[in-house]
Amino acid sequence: MTALPGGPEGTSSRDVFDGYLLGKRSLEEELPDLQKWWDRGIAAGIKKNNWGQENWAR
């Protein structure tokens, strides 16, 4: 199974992708927001799993 990166736990994929998929935003407008959501999701996963001391997580 392949999944798209999303935001932190509790964020629906609709929150992340609807603007572009519904034609309300251009791809150029959407990409910075996608990066923000993905960064937040990564940070939340690192914190939740106590990976903060791992070299790759810094």
Listed residue (50, 31, 8) closest to 17, CA to CA: 31
Give residue limits of the domains in the chain. 13-57
Residue holding tokens 């997580």?
57
pLDDT tens over the chain, length 58 residues:
445 666 667 777 676 677 788 888 888 988 898 888 888 888 888 888 999 888 887 7
Per-position DSSP letters for 1-58, written without gaps between them: -------STT--HHHHHHHHHTTSS-HHHHHHHHHHHHHHHHHHHHHHTT-TTSGGG-
pTM here is: 0.63
Determine the pLDDT at residue 34: 82
